[in-house]
Amino acid sequence: MSLKEELQQKIDNLNKPKGSLGKLESLALQIGLIQQTLSPTLQHPCHILFGGDHGIEREGVSKSPREVTWQQMINYGRGGGGVNMFCRQHGFKLRVVDVGVDYEFDPKQYPHIIDRKVARGTHNFLHEAAMSQADYERCLAIGAEQVNECKQEGCNIICFGEMGIGNTSPSSIWMHLMLDLPLEACVGAGSGLDAAGVKHKLEILQAAVVHYQQNCANGIQPQSREWTETTIRYFGGFEMVAAIGGMIRAAELGMIVLVDGFIMTACMLAASHLEPSVMDYAIFGHCGDECGHQLMLRAMGADPILHLNMRLGEGTGALCAYPIIQSAVNMLNEMDNFQHAAITKYF
């Protein structure tokens, strides 16, 4: 009997009607397979928040100004962010990593910020690639490095967050290109654009895609690894590529990867185009309120745990889903079975 069959048998023999705990049962099965055990555990949960600024922000595609990125990075050290609250509530260790914020943080004044700065923001992808191949590879390595450190501390479940004004724009383009969906279905309000703002954002992103296809992607086989890497680095943010590197490394280490909202789902989409097996380790925590997120999840075959109409980012949706994952593990480990409880098995 395979481990999958043994896990399913254990779940079915818990003293409950078969399938009556719904998604908890499918989560328990997935987690057992990830950890290759009938009795999985959740240990030292970690949350890594990568920060970086985007050149495309200069085109007015976000309601929030650029300085909010560095201001929020500082705020996390005071414990005042949404991500801080949920990490405290659910016992996650928070790591805040500057991969490309357009600000110089004094390490003495802000010791909570891990300095891995590649540059002070990406280039403007309306006109040129957001980052070089070397910077792309460096960001992947930074993400992997941070996951390695969490793993060394005993972590076996991890989630990622982001802080980067303008990062719904590259997420929308990745979704459009990698899933072959209409760009207008992928572009939303971000941090709060009105209808005119969304229209302007769409026009800018349409122009950027045309420029990319004419000048960079021409001659590259669509959906090939070369095309995927070119697409990621042409539009992506430093913080997003670091998250991709972290997701892939976490899967390699057999860790549960808890996926947040629109931007982190786009990063998981990109990661899965590079390494398809990463999806086996992904649990999607939340479907957000950003236009296109539900469409992207559906196209990926992902079934998120929560739908709370959140669009804060930072990894907050994933953190909110953690107690449900804990319940799935507890179900598998703590519920009695029919035989031991001396209850008639009625199916």
Q: β-strand 157-163 against 113-115: which pairing, if any? A: unpaired
- Please, which pLDDT band fits residue 347 given cuts at 50, 70 and 90? low
Q: Is 184 a catalytic residue?
A: no
- 147-203 pLDDT per residue, tens: 999 999 999 999 999 999 999 999 999 999 999 999 999 999 888 899 999 999 999
State the average pLDDT over residues 260-287. Answer: 97
- Please, which pLDDT band fits residue 345 given cuts at 50, 70 and 90? confident
Q: 111 to each of 53, 78, 95, 108, how far by Cα in Å?
A: 20, 11, 11, 6
Number of H helices, E strands in the chain: 14, 6
**pLDDT reported for residue 192:** 85
In one-letter notation, the amino acid at residue 91 is G
In one-letter notation, the amino acid at residue 347 is F
In one-letter notation, the amino acid at residue 55 is G
**How far, in Å, CA of 107 to CA of 97, rounded?**
12
State the average pLDDT over residues 310-317. Answer: 91
- 44-98 pLDDT per residue, tens: 999 999 999 999 999 999 999 999 999 999 999 899 999 999 999 999 999 999 9
Q: Is 46-329 CATH 3.40.50.10210?
A: yes
In one-letter notation, the amino acid at residue 16 is K
Which residue in 59, 229, 239, 314 is the catalytic one? 314
- Please, which pLDDT band fits residue 334 given cuts at 50, 70 and 90? very high
Structure tokens at 6: 């043994």
State the average pLDDT over residues 16-32. Answer: 96
**How far, in Å, CA of 198 to CA of 233, rounded?**
24
Cβ neighbours for 175, distance < 8 A, ≥ 6 positions apart:
181, 186, 266, 269, 292, 295, 296
- Please, which pLDDT band fits residue 1 given cuts at 50, 70 and 90? confident
Q: Is the pLDDT of residue 341 over 80?
A: no
- 88-146 pLDDT per residue, tens: 999 999 999 999 999 999 999 999 999 999 999 999 999 999 999 999 999 999 999 99
